[in-house]
Amino acid sequence: MKYPLMRNNITKSDRTSLINFLKKNDKLTQGPYVREFEKKWSKWLGVKYSVFVNSGSSANLLSLTLLKLKYPKRGEVIVPPLTWSSDISSILHCGFKPVFVDIDPDTLGMNTDKIIKKINKNTKAIFLSYIQGFNCLSSKLLHIIKKKKILLIEDVCESHGATFKNKKLGSFGWTSNFSFYYAHHMSTIEGGMVSTNDRLAYNNLLMLRSHGMIREMEDESRKNKIINYNSKLNSKFIFEYPGYNLRNTEIGAVLGISQLKRLDKNIELRTKNLNFFLDNLDDSFFYKDFLLTGSSNYAFNVVLKDKNKKRFDKILKNLDKNGIEYRVGSAGGGNQLRQPYVKRLIKFKNFNNFKNVEHIHFYAFYIGNYPDLAQKDILFITKALNEGAK
């Protein structure tokens, strides 16, 4: 592909950092560099605590496992059908009932008023996904969930650095989840982060990430109480919860520390690219009324205005011809309600209840945006799109 979804996300300086680390260290499993990365990430995001894990999907799973500890009798979690599969699968794995809400076209995230209509006495959390760098959080939603004492879990995997009222997304919720996959705003190759301001949640996350072992905790008072209560166990091997092994490595942390240094600059370049892309996209055929305030673009979203399958296929054919990579359906391949893992467990008869997600599923796709895209590259891409639509 002439224009892949991502390129040059691991730089020479990243490689130099790794080489220098490997020359001096032979312990590569989780250690001091992981803790350093977690602290630097927390400072960048504006939260108290962060836990580095092996993927954004693992971050999602840990957040829902935390929710299970808080609500052992389970309940409902409101979630969008347009998201990555692990948002929904983590809800299912942890025994909660997913309740789906349609999106707004201008943010690709859940519609606030529709979320509020779905809230009831069984609602334990709202799992917001910030799709492709757009913000869908609102003051109205924050007010309602505070009033009703409903937890907010933020999926910020595609939206590092996006803001609401000049505060970074991922700093509003009970927990927030990030991905450092290769194609995202910054990369540890594979990796993710869970962030929180809740000290109890943080210590539980430390345990859950590492088999449920209490030795991972930073709460010494709580740790000693558990040790004293379990006096016949080796204090180094007390498993408080049925946890996982979702740890990352020192190598991932060294990469993360290196990449974090240029994250803000990369976000600035991605945002500049998006504005130039939209300026040159033909609004006769393509939807362009996205809410850009506070956005931190992950990829160029291309949404056909009309339900014109012939035109849509012609556009894709022209992209293939010009070596431009794309993903149909936007985040997660479109409507997750159409996926086998959901259809086996939940029966949906009327997809028209999710008209906006359905339109994205059949008539939208995204194209890679990355910091080293030049304006001439973006003009080449928009020309291919505009010509394909005619």
Q: Say which CATH number the domain at 285 has.
A: 3.90.1150.10
Percentage of the chain beyond pLDDT 70 is: 100
Mean pLDDT for 129-157 is 98
- Whether residues 251 and 112 fall in one domain: yes
Q: Does the pLDDT at position 71 exceed 80? A: yes
Count of structural domains, the chain: 2
Indicate the residue among 232, 260, 288 that finishes a domain. Answer: 260
- Whether residues 216 and 68 fall in one domain: yes
> Would you call 285 exposed, middle or buried from its count of C-beta atoms within 10 A (0-12, 13-18, 19+)?
buried
Single out the residue of 282, 272, 299, 256 nearest to residue 108, CA to CA.
299
- Whether residues 244 and 313 fall in one domain: no
Whether 239 maps to a domain, the answer reads yes
160 catalytically annotated:
no
pLDDT grade for 5, boundaries at 50, 70 and 90: very high
Whether 71 maps to a domain, the answer reads yes
pLDDT of residue 352: 85
Domain that holds residue 86: 12-260
Single out the residue of 355, 358, 380, 182 nearest to residue 300, CA to CA.
380
Whether 150 maps to a domain, the answer reads yes
- Whether residues 163 and 293 fall in one domain: no
- Whether residues 254 and 280 fall in one domain: no
pLDDT of residue 10: 93
Placement of tokens 């590259």 in the chain: 377
- pLDDT mean across residues, the chain: 97
Indicate the residue among 206, 240, 260 that finishes a domain. Answer: 260
The CATH number covering residue 97 comes to 3.40.640.10
Q: Does the pLDDT at position 220 exceed 90? A: yes
pLDDT tens readout for residues 264-292: 999 999 999 999 999 999 999 999 999 99
Whether 2 maps to a domain, the answer reads no
Q: Which position among 160, 184, 185, 211 bears the catalytic label?
A: 184
pLDDT of residue 348: 74
Q: What would you measure as the largest C-alpha separation in the chain, in angstroms?
A: 75
- Whether residues 71 and 86 fall in one domain: yes
Whether 7 maps to a domain, the answer reads no
Q: What pTM does this model have?
A: 0.96
pLDDT of residue 347: 79
Distances (CA, A) of 173 to 82, 132, 142, 357: 20, 19, 9, 24
pLDDT grade for 350, boundaries at 50, 70 and 90: confident
- Whether residues 245 and 301 fall in one domain: no
Indicate the residue among 245, 260, 275 that finishes a domain. Answer: 260
Single out the residue of 317, 325, 330 nearest to residue 365, CA to CA.
330
- Whether residues 53 and 97 fall in one domain: yes
